[in-house]
Amino acid sequence: MSETITGKKANPAPLGLLGFGMTTVLLNLHNAEIIELSVVIVSMGFALGGLAQIIAGILEFMGGNTFGGTAFTAYGTFWWSLIIIWTNPTDEIAGADDVSMGFYLLLWGIFTLCMFIGTLKHNRATQVVFLSLAVLFFGLSIGDFSGSGLTHVVSGWIGIFCGASAIYNAMGQVINGEFGKKVFPLG
Protein backbone atom coordinates (compact mmCIF):
# COMPACT_ATOMS: atom_id res chain seq x y z
CA MET A 1 0.00 0.00 0.00
CA SER A 2 1.52 3.32 -0.98
CA GLU A 3 0.69 6.78 0.20
CA THR A 4 1.29 10.05 -1.54
CA ILE A 5 3.97 12.05 0.21
CA THR A 6 2.87 15.58 0.96
CA GLY A 7 4.87 18.61 2.04
CA LYS A 8 4.18 17.87 5.72
CA LYS A 9 7.33 17.49 7.82
CA ALA A 10 7.65 14.69 10.34
CA ASN A 11 8.07 15.50 14.03
CA PRO A 12 11.50 14.27 15.22
CA ALA A 13 10.67 14.78 18.92
CA PRO A 14 9.15 11.32 19.50
CA LEU A 15 12.36 9.69 18.25
CA GLY A 16 14.45 11.79 20.60
CA LEU A 17 12.10 11.23 23.53
CA LEU A 18 11.98 7.50 22.88
CA GLY A 19 15.78 7.32 22.67
CA PHE A 20 16.09 9.26 25.87
CA GLY A 21 13.30 7.43 27.69
CA MET A 22 14.20 3.84 26.89
CA THR A 23 17.89 4.38 27.63
CA THR A 24 17.11 6.25 30.84
CA VAL A 25 14.86 3.46 32.09
CA LEU A 26 17.50 0.85 31.27
CA LEU A 27 20.35 2.72 32.97
CA ASN A 28 18.25 3.47 36.03
CA LEU A 29 17.27 -0.16 36.43
CA HIS A 30 21.00 -0.48 37.12
CA ASN A 31 21.08 2.58 39.41
CA ALA A 32 18.15 1.13 41.38
CA GLU A 33 20.21 -2.10 41.69
CA ILE A 34 17.73 -4.19 39.69
CA ILE A 35 20.18 -5.14 36.91
CA GLU A 36 23.95 -5.08 36.50
CA LEU A 37 25.75 -2.56 34.32
CA SER A 38 26.39 -4.49 31.12
CA VAL A 39 26.96 -4.17 27.41
CA VAL A 40 23.16 -4.03 27.07
CA ILE A 41 23.08 -0.59 28.72
CA VAL A 42 26.22 0.58 26.91
CA SER A 43 24.82 -0.47 23.51
CA MET A 44 21.46 1.17 24.16
CA GLY A 45 23.28 4.32 25.30
CA PHE A 46 25.36 4.43 22.13
CA ALA A 47 22.58 3.64 19.64
CA LEU A 48 19.21 4.86 20.89
CA GLY A 49 20.29 7.18 23.68
CA GLY A 50 23.14 8.74 21.72
CA LEU A 51 22.73 8.41 17.99
CA ALA A 52 18.93 8.59 17.78
CA GLN A 53 18.82 11.68 19.99
CA ILE A 54 21.57 13.41 18.04
CA ILE A 55 19.70 12.73 14.80
CA ALA A 56 16.48 14.06 16.36
CA GLY A 57 18.35 17.10 17.62
CA ILE A 58 19.80 17.91 14.20
CA LEU A 59 16.35 17.56 12.65
CA GLU A 60 14.90 19.86 15.33
CA PHE A 61 17.59 22.46 14.56
CA MET A 62 16.83 22.14 10.84
CA GLY A 63 13.14 22.75 11.63
CA GLY A 64 13.98 25.90 13.58
CA ASN A 65 13.38 24.45 17.05
CA THR A 66 16.28 25.66 19.20
CA PHE A 67 14.91 24.09 22.39
CA GLY A 68 14.41 20.62 20.86
CA GLY A 69 17.67 20.79 18.95
CA THR A 70 19.64 21.78 22.03
CA ALA A 71 17.96 19.22 24.28
CA PHE A 72 18.24 16.19 22.01
CA THR A 73 21.74 16.94 20.76
CA ALA A 74 23.05 17.67 24.27
CA TYR A 75 21.50 14.59 25.86
CA GLY A 76 22.60 12.43 22.93
CA THR A 77 26.16 13.53 23.53
CA PHE A 78 25.62 12.94 27.27
CA TRP A 79 25.11 9.24 26.53
CA TRP A 80 28.22 9.08 24.36
CA SER A 81 30.31 10.87 26.98
CA LEU A 82 29.04 8.52 29.68
CA ILE A 83 30.01 5.51 27.57
CA ILE A 84 33.50 6.96 27.07
CA ILE A 85 33.78 7.51 30.84
CA TRP A 86 32.83 3.87 31.48
CA THR A 87 34.94 2.24 28.80
CA ASN A 88 38.04 4.29 28.06
CA PRO A 89 40.24 5.08 31.06
CA THR A 90 43.90 4.83 30.04
CA ASP A 91 47.27 4.75 31.75
CA GLU A 92 47.61 8.48 31.03
CA ILE A 93 44.07 9.52 32.03
CA ALA A 94 42.55 8.38 35.31
CA GLY A 95 39.15 6.75 35.36
CA ALA A 96 36.22 8.60 36.86
CA ASP A 97 36.01 8.82 40.64
CA ASP A 98 33.03 9.81 42.80
CA VAL A 99 34.05 13.47 43.01
CA SER A 100 34.54 13.92 39.27
CA MET A 101 31.28 12.07 38.57
CA GLY A 102 29.55 14.24 41.17
CA PHE A 103 30.62 17.38 39.32
CA TYR A 104 29.77 15.83 35.94
CA LEU A 105 26.23 15.02 37.10
CA LEU A 106 25.89 18.37 38.90
CA LEU A 107 26.64 20.24 35.67
CA TRP A 108 24.06 18.14 33.80
CA GLY A 109 21.59 18.89 36.60
CA ILE A 110 22.14 22.64 36.29
CA PHE A 111 21.76 22.46 32.50
CA THR A 112 18.58 20.40 32.88
CA LEU A 113 17.11 22.77 35.45
CA CYS A 114 17.65 25.64 32.99
CA MET A 115 16.05 23.57 30.22
CA PHE A 116 13.12 22.84 32.57
CA ILE A 117 12.47 26.59 32.71
CA GLY A 118 12.12 26.47 28.93
CA THR A 119 9.50 23.72 29.23
CA LEU A 120 7.16 26.09 31.04
CA LYS A 121 6.01 27.02 27.52
CA HIS A 122 5.51 23.32 26.63
CA ASN A 123 3.01 20.64 27.62
CA ARG A 124 2.86 19.10 31.10
CA ALA A 125 4.32 15.81 29.88
CA THR A 126 7.50 17.58 28.76
CA GLN A 127 7.66 19.50 32.03
CA VAL A 128 7.48 16.23 33.97
CA VAL A 129 10.32 14.74 31.91
CA PHE A 130 12.66 17.68 32.49
CA LEU A 131 11.81 18.26 36.15
CA SER A 132 12.24 14.60 37.04
CA LEU A 133 15.50 14.54 35.03
CA ALA A 134 16.84 17.52 36.96
CA VAL A 135 15.96 15.78 40.25
CA LEU A 136 17.64 12.61 38.93
CA PHE A 137 20.90 14.39 38.04
CA PHE A 138 21.00 16.26 41.36
CA GLY A 139 20.23 13.06 43.28
CA LEU A 140 22.94 11.07 41.50
CA SER A 141 25.37 13.94 42.04
CA ILE A 142 24.59 14.04 45.77
CA GLY A 143 24.94 10.26 45.89
CA ASP A 144 28.40 10.45 44.32
CA PHE A 145 29.58 13.35 46.49
CA SER A 146 28.31 11.73 49.70
CA GLY A 147 29.02 8.10 48.86
CA SER A 148 25.42 7.28 49.78
CA GLY A 149 24.29 4.07 48.12
CA LEU A 150 20.71 4.69 49.26
CA THR A 151 20.64 8.08 47.53
CA HIS A 152 21.88 6.39 44.37
CA VAL A 153 19.15 3.72 44.55
CA VAL A 154 16.39 6.26 45.23
CA SER A 155 17.69 8.32 42.32
CA GLY A 156 17.50 5.18 40.18
CA TRP A 157 13.78 4.92 40.89
CA ILE A 158 13.37 8.61 40.01
CA GLY A 159 15.23 7.84 36.77
CA ILE A 160 12.90 4.96 35.96
CA PHE A 161 9.95 7.33 36.41
CA CYS A 162 11.69 10.00 34.30
CA GLY A 163 12.41 7.58 31.46
CA ALA A 164 8.90 6.16 31.56
CA SER A 165 7.47 9.69 31.38
CA ALA A 166 9.59 10.37 28.27
CA ILE A 167 8.38 7.13 26.66
CA TYR A 168 4.78 8.13 27.43
CA ASN A 169 5.39 11.59 25.92
CA ALA A 170 6.93 10.04 22.77
CA MET A 171 4.14 7.51 22.30
CA GLY A 172 1.54 10.19 23.02
CA GLN A 173 2.91 12.36 20.25
CA VAL A 174 3.04 9.44 17.80
CA ILE A 175 -0.41 8.02 18.62
CA ASN A 176 -2.09 11.45 18.84
CA GLY A 177 -0.52 12.39 15.52
CA GLU A 178 -1.64 9.18 13.86
CA PHE A 179 -5.23 9.50 15.05
CA GLY A 180 -5.39 13.27 14.66
CA LYS A 181 -6.87 13.63 18.13
CA LYS A 182 -5.92 13.41 21.81
CA VAL A 183 -5.67 9.72 22.67
CA PHE A 184 -2.83 10.13 25.17
CA PRO A 185 -3.31 13.33 27.19
CA LEU A 186 -0.09 15.35 27.25
CA GLY A 187 -1.41 18.44 29.03
Q: What is the rounded average pLDDT of the residues 84-111?
A: 93
Decide if pLDDT at 174 tops 60. yes
Average pLDDT over residues 136-142: 98
Decide which of 59 and 5 is more confident: 59
CA distance 11 to 56: 9
Output the average pLDDT for the chain: 95
Compute the average pLDDT of residues 51-78: 98
Burial of 150 (0-12, 13-18, 19+ CB in 10 A): exposed
Fold designation for 13-85+95-179: 1.25.40
Residue 18 has a pLDDT of 97
pLDDT score for 3? 58
**What mean pLDDT is predicted for residues 31-51?**
97
Mean pLDDT to the nearest integer, 34-54: 97
Q: What does pTM read for this prediction?
A: 0.93
Stretch among 39-53, 90-104, 114-128 having the lowest mean pLDDT? 90-104
pLDDT tens-digit series, residues 15-35: 999 999 999 999 999 999 999
Is 88 or 12 the better-scoring residue by pLDDT? 12
Please answer whether residues 176 and 13 qualify as being in contact, where contact means their C-beta atoms are separated by less than 8 angstroms. Answer: no
Is pLDDT at 89 greater than 90 in this prediction?
A: no
Rounded mean pLDDT of 164-186? 96
Which conformational region is residue 183 in: left (phi greater than 0), alpha (psi within -120 to 50 degrees), or beta?
A: alpha
User: How far apart, in whole angstroms, are the C-alpha atoms of residue 89 and residue 95?
Assistant: 5
The better pLDDT of the pair 93, 154 is held by: 154
User: What integer is the mean pLDDT of 147-172?
Assistant: 98
| pLDDT at site 91 | 81
